[in-house]
Chains A and B, each alone.
Chain A
Amino acid sequence: MSLANLDLTSVQQHFPDLLPSALSRDRGATAYRLRLPAFPSGRAFGWAELRLPKGFPEHARAEIVLSPDAVLRVPHLDQAGVLCTDGDPGPGSGHSPEDRILLLLQAYQEHFLAPWLAGGMDGDFAAEALNYWAIEVAQSLSHSDPVRAVWTVDPCPAEAIVRQGLLLLPERIVIAADEQLPITNRLIRSMGKGASQHIGVLVADIPISHTLTPGTWPRTASDLDLILGGRLKPAEYEMFRSATSRRGRRIHRVVLLRSSESAFAYLLPGGPPTVVDDGKRKKTYPPLSRPLPLSAVRLDPDWTVGRDQHPEVADRQGKRILVLGAGALGSPVIDHLAKAGVGFITVVDADDLSPANIGRHLLGAESIGKRKASAAARRVNLGYPATVVTPHAMTAESWLKKHALSGVDVVLDLTGDPDVRWYVDQARQEHPCPLLIGWMEPYVAAAHACLLPPQTPWIQGSRDPLNDLEAVSWPDEVIRREPGCSSRFQSYTAAAAAHAVALVTENALDLIDGADGSATAQVVSWVRGQHFLDKHWPGLALRDWALPAAPHEGLILTRPFP
């Protein structure tokens, strides 16, 4: 169906304010003006039109577009003036194209025009302030802007302050903190060549109690000066106004207005000239003549890790976790712990990554032949600025000989190695700390997280209870010998192991957070059902304690330890 087949007359019968003349618009769109009502003073805009993009009705939705003078004055418009309310239900809705247009026009009238005239939308800017700020920023954008965005890495200060920040080139990102904060250095490292040059800037970091809207955000240098004068202490205000570098050159000054929910930044005029290197030649642009609005985004752990929904992140940031083993279980667990906001992870593993590992390891072919501990640490350190991973490419036994467990909040033994379990127990006698022992059974038919409070040893009497805790009594043939060498392995998929990774990580986080139950020694097990066992090896049977899982695809069971 094409636009020529549309029966707009029937639409007009139901919506007489749709004017019949078709107008051509960019990218093959067709538009029809809408007759506007008499506006009260201050509510008028130039025009409104129904726009049918190229591809309507099959591959595009109809939209309402308002004149440019309405942008940032009327809520719910994007930068191009497109009204962002539900309207055309789209090609998959089962409606005829005419009905879709009619639904859009009715939505425009009932959910936009009428409330706009009645003042019902006057508070709506505040609800989506950052969307409108993005428009303000985009409207001021140019390729010669000295700064592209501001990143914040710590909580909003209680009182307005002037602080050092860093402009990172060539990415043109300002971090609103200096290298005194470790997270600044970690971000710089993550940015690699994008942050090859660091230039000191000054940031006026000012808390705000209400989000800013097009009606309240500063527009001029004088508006910003009023804020600076009102919020900074006199000496800081003077210093910020007349700031120069140590060599007496002009420096960039950023005004950051923020709360935990929204942030707005400006680069002030009066900074140094900007040099833009497009790869072929360098061009110098004069300093700004007016404040440049900038997007300000949060990279602090509370936001990147938990979107402010996880107050436990603040505590986790101070925790030190020792992870023994960076294999198919350990390496993704480290990754998940970093994603959960654990501040410090020490990872110990003596092995190199082999080609056969990459099917189920955090690392891929780029790390073949590299130390698993070092490469996993590098990967996580680059990706997650809220976490510091320190690698030790040595056996757990060697590490435990060289280091004590003092200062370690939780130990995760994910080696599966009985010797390591014994050494860890010895070390815990000297420095008691919570321990999680995690392992998988063949095919990941079961996985276990054994949680031990500080005073509970793993070795019971002189016996290592691992085999007794398993869900299946395994025939020897299940474990295979790697061709040409002495290594033994069992093939399982990364997808099957993902259940084990999740089980171990969730329980590790409980131990780290000191959650309910972490004071009791227990074993939490993921057990697959009989159907899964039968698929992998004939004649396998679940032990009695695990039988409840038999009819299911999988079940998590919790038992006391031992």
Chain B
Amino acid sequence: MAKPRPVPGLDPDRRLRPNARRILAVRIEEVYAYDGAIADAENVAELHDMRIAFKRLRYLLEIFAVAFDADLDPFVDEAKAMQDLLGEIHDRDVQVPALRDHLEWLEEREHLAARRAVAEAAAAQASGGRRRPSEAAFRRFREELEAGMRFDERVGVHALIARRRRERRELHARFLERWRRLKRDRFRARLEDALGIARG
């Protein structure tokens, strides 16, 4: 996660507005710094960092709203909508590897169950001398082995992974559309005007 950039020139003994303006100018810049990277859906880290940047901006607008005359609510709502969309994408980026881990966990459990069933069968045979195992003992072994297998659980997990990937693609497309609309609507310029931030 990208750390917030330090804000130069703050003076805690001055009024809230000039300090808030300096902080917000830097945080707006941070959001837009990801513009070049987020069109590529594979840039997971940049998408996550942009979510954090939007989250910081949204909270700051809420906290500092009292210091400005302009109504900041529409900007808060827009920042929150972007944060939520990026959050949904991030959830999928976390869930897919977690589901793959779960598949591996199921496999480990199967190996353990198989080893236990074989060890128990071997012990039973050893205690019964060198006789061939009975049909009943073999059936019991097979049942224990099958009970330890988790094939039926994998279907649902694989389906879930496929669903999360599909959702992720759709969410990224929606996010890009919204981001482009935000830029078309001059979100940044309007926000900076509302805050009285001079544009360079």
Whether chains A and B associate is no
